[in-house]
Amino acid sequence: MKAVPRTPMRVVPKTPRMQQTVEKQRRDTSDKARDPVNVFCRVRPLQSDGDLTSLRVKNSTTIALNPQDQLLQHHKPHNANQREIQYIFKHVFQPDATQQDVYASVAQPLVENLLKGRNSLLFTYGVTGSGKTYTMTGNLRHRGIMPRCLDVLFRTISDYQAKKFVFKPDKLNGFEILSEEDALLERQHEMNQRFAGAGRFAFRHKDSDPEIASQASVEPIPLLGLDEDNMFSVFVTYIEIYNNSVYDLLEDSGIQKTLQSKIIREDANRHMFVHGVTEVEVKTVEEALEVFQMGQKRKRMGHTVLNAESSRSHSVFNIRLVQAPTDSQGENVVQDRQNITVSQLSLVDLAGSERSSRTKNTGVRLREAGNINNSLMTLRTCLEYLRENQLSASNGLAPKKVPYRDSKITHMFKNYFDGEGQVSMIVCINPRIEDYDENMQVMKFAEMTQEVQIARATPMKQDLGLTPGRRKANKLFKIAINNLNELGIPEAKDLEVDVGLVYSLGPDFPAYEMDSPEAEIKIRELMHYLEQRIEKRKKLRANLDIKCDSFRQMLMNLDRDNLQLRTELASLKAVYKQERDRSAALEKKVRIHESSIDVLNNTLSKQERQIEELTFKLNEKENMLTQKEHEKEKQKKKFSSKLAVESDKNKREFELKLREQRAKLQERMRIKDEKLRLVSNILQSEDLPSLPRSQSSENILNEKDRGAYTVRTEVSSVPATRTDIYATPRHGAAAANNRHRRSRSAGDKWLEHRAANPVPLGTIMQPYLKNRKSVTKLTDMKELTAHGTTKYCLVSQDADTDGDVETKLYKGNVIPTCGGGAQVVFNDVECLKQKSPVHSPTRKRPSNGNISALGGGAVPSTVTSAQDVASRCNLGIEGHSSKKSKI
């Protein structure tokens, strides 16, 4: 929206004839290029997977409504003949479309129009809860169209913004330009109010309550096509239309106070505006969003059945861009309000249409819904009349009067539909099957809206005859002057640049017809245009004379400087010849010295190479010595550790042998004592017992040839009875027949007793037992006596002193005892190891003949007792165990 007429003409009193001319000019706008209303559609995602939908997105421009699912849900057989209905839009945003996609397709062209001085209108339309407010403003996580437009706008004009209060609203939909002194006073006054806390828009971010994201996740790219010779300022207004009344949400009053209703008026250029509305100048995106949030706190919101936070009013957020050209130096704004261009982008969030039968509204909510539906109906009616007028104009019929004044929303944006800007609409759809009827009405309205053609506005750019790019040229010139001053060049202070007028008399003559009814007006326009050209010619001629004089003076100065420079050049040539001869002699000496220096450098390089070679050899020798020392220390440590291990091992072996010898001596002493006691008992008895065999007492008491020792004694309380000493065994020992032998033809049956999870032997020679039975635990004596077992093998695995696995096989014969049990007489031990052939210690194999008794007997020399051997392989021993052992 512009604050000045698009053609520079004088304002004259209106006459009936002139009024007819104006009406004719309005009709002539039908001959201009026209653009349709751009209608976009955005489908909201379903809130839950269980919701049904009758809407289907066919492609990027087509939506289909299929009422079959809705008919099945509500059981309406009278509409069973309805078919799928298709609607075509400029673009359809599917449920997974992002806010950035919507902005890039819909709002970014409108921001480009705003920078070019054109007006634009964008409004969202749809039922309650369809996502209109989310699309327009967004939330804390996803920015909507409004904050993205502000962000791109400020990033584009960031380097070309005018200082605050250079442009000031005149309360009549226009702006005036303040001088630098007046603007400074206004800024000082605002600062005082900010410190005093009295200013309504003293921006304090800590007191704000953000409702939308203040910063974008990705920085937008500035737009192109900006006039860099202009100064820009941004003003915002925020109003709402509630119950067909207009309210200023930025009015300077407390939040709790009641807002005063505003009226809509027409300015001098026949543009509609809200009289007395508050226009706030903002310099950053944060300030603009804070102003929006202040107004948002006053907006009417209500709770309904369909939406917890339903907008009960139409909200209009206007972004007005004010721009004016700079002077010839590109530093200050030209102090002429006729050169101001004002463009406006209106972002309208319409309240959702709703049915009282679904929302169950009563009282105030019902009245609000009625006013909302009436205003939306008026908007539909105005668009239908515009479409009919277009059809009637093509058929030569009289147009209908469009009822803009029936609603505030249509009255406010009357100029847009009359050809003062571009109009776009986003139709928001909730695809739930419950909203099928409302969605169908919205689709019909959107389809009808696309057929409305609006005249394309072509604002006229003010031509002041100034050089394009003067602002950037002056900036670069100042940078160059500062660089020269830093280098200490005194001539930099006298340099001047002229980026002033361009020698052009302006645009061509306007078209005119002298025989037309408005010839008088055309003549006045031509006179005004010629007067402007004459003034422009005089101004250009005066400027040309000044430039010619300055150019003539510059030529004279250059001629004088040229003569002086020639004289200096002649004297400098003579000095140059002398210096050249002197430099030639010096060059000769330098060449001689350079040759000698080259010889010395070659010698030096040879010496350095020799030094490097010797140093390398020395380092090699030192490394070899160090390595030998390390190896010597390593061998020493290894030998010491090995010597300590061997000494410990020898010490343990010596102690073990000593214990064994001591045990043998004790056993021998015990045997001798037993023999002596038996002999003493025999001698003290009255009658010498008769012997079944002719053996001496020594042979009876000691039978070493059979590998076992058995003690037989006579237990009798009657000395007259003659009893055989072999008939009764000694108390505490089970009698067994050591001479018991089985037939060799029957074969040996082995009982292999080993651990549950044995370690693999890994030796070359593996034990082989042909007829064997393996067990992991002996809990019953029958396991020895059953199945005719004649041989027993006990497998024991342990780690030796070097940490290697050592497997020992204790082998023996199973001999039945007189009490029905059995005893094991061990007669062989095998030791299996796997050693490295390089470092293999001396292998010691124990001698055969080690005996251990399960029911009583002896144990191997390497095991203290039969119980210890059995405990290593979970061997349960039952019966009698001997208290003595013999090897």
Does pLDDT of 662 surpass 80?
Answer: yes
Query: For residue 129, what pLDDT is reported?
Result: 85
Structural domain includes residue 151? yes
| pLDDT at residue 212 in the model | 72
pLDDT tens digits for 826-846?
A: 899 888 887 766 554 544 444
Instruction: Please tell me the predicted confidence (pLDDT) of residue 29.
Output: 44
Is residue 748 domain-resident? yes
First to last CA, the chain: 123
- 358 assigned to some structural domain: yes
Of 97, 99, 37, 106, the C-alpha closest to 382 is 37
**At 215, is the pLDDT very low, low, confident or very high (cuts 50, 70, 90)?**
low
Q: Is the predicted pLDDT of residue 856 greater than 90, yes or no?
A: no
Q: DSSP per residue over 687-745, as a string? A: SPPPPSS---HHHHH--TTTT----B----S-TTS---TTTSBPTTS--B-TT----GG
Q: Smallest Cα–Cα separation from 252: which of 190, 200, 292, 198?
A: 200
- Model confidence at 619, pLDDT cuts 50, 70, 90, reads very high
Residue 666 has pLDDT above 90, yes or no: yes
Query: End of a domain among 413, 437, 455?
Result: 455
Which has the minimum average pLDDT: 187-191, 215-219, 459-463, 741-745?
A: 741-745
Q: Give the whole-angstrom CA distance, residue 392 versus residue 401.
A: 12
| Section 759-763 average pLDDT | 80
**What's the domain range around 811?**
732-835+842-872
Residue 84 banded pLDDT, cuts 50, 70, 90: confident
| Residue 132 known to bind ligand | yes
On the question of pLDDT at 851 being above 60, the answer is no
- Where do the DSSP E strands lie in 287-445? 301-302, 310-311, 314-325, 341-349, 422-429
Q: Consult the annotation and say whether 762 binds a ligand.
A: no
As for how many domains the chain has, the answer is 2
Neighbours of 431 (CB within 10 A): 22
- How many Å apart are CA 193 and CA 203, to the nearest integer? 11
The CATH number for 82's domain is: 3.40.850.10
> Is 553 a member of any domain?
no
Domain stop point among 403, 426, 455: 455
Q: Is 133 annotated as a binding residue?
A: yes
pLDDT band (50, 70, 90) for residue 569: very high
The pLDDT of residue 528 is 82
Residues of the chain with pLDDT > 70, as a percent, come to 72
Asked if residue 225 belongs to a known ligand binding site, the reply is no
In this predicted structure, the answer to whether residue 425 has a pLDDT above a threshold of 90 is yes
Is 466 within a domain? no
- 3 state SS of 178: coil
Instruction: Let me know the angle formed at the C-alpha of 869 by 703 and 645, rounded to the nearest 5 degrees.
Output: 110
**pLDDT tens per residue across span 381-409:** 998 888 888 888 777 777 888 899 889 99
465 labeled part of a ligand binding site: no
The mean pLDDT value for 562-579 works out to 92
SS3 200: coil
**Which CATH number fits the domain that encloses residue 810?**
2.60.40.4330
- pLDDT(789) > 50: yes
Question: pTM to 2 decimals?
Answer: 0.56
Residue with the larger pLDDT of the pair 290 and 539: 290
User: Is residue 121 in some structural domain?
Assistant: yes
308-314 average pLDDT score: 66
Q: Single out the residue in 437, 455, 473 at which a domain terminates.
A: 455
- Average pLDDT over the chain reads 76
Tokens 């306007």 correspond to what residue? Answer: 510
Q: What percent of the chain has pLDDT over 90?
A: 31
Q: Which of 866, 778, 879 has its CA nearest to residue 822? A: 879
Phi then psi dihedrals of residue 333, to 5 deg? -75, 140
85, part of any domain: yes
Mean pLDDT to the nearest integer, 739-748:
56
**43-52, 367-376, 581-590, 608-617 — which is least confidently predicted?**
367-376
- pLDDT tens for each residue of 110-139: 999 999 999 999 999 988 888 999 999 998
129 belongs to an annotated ligand binding site: yes
Higher model confidence: residue 799 or residue 575?
A: 575
**pLDDT top residue among 93 and 17:** 93
Q: Is residue 175 part of a domain?
A: yes
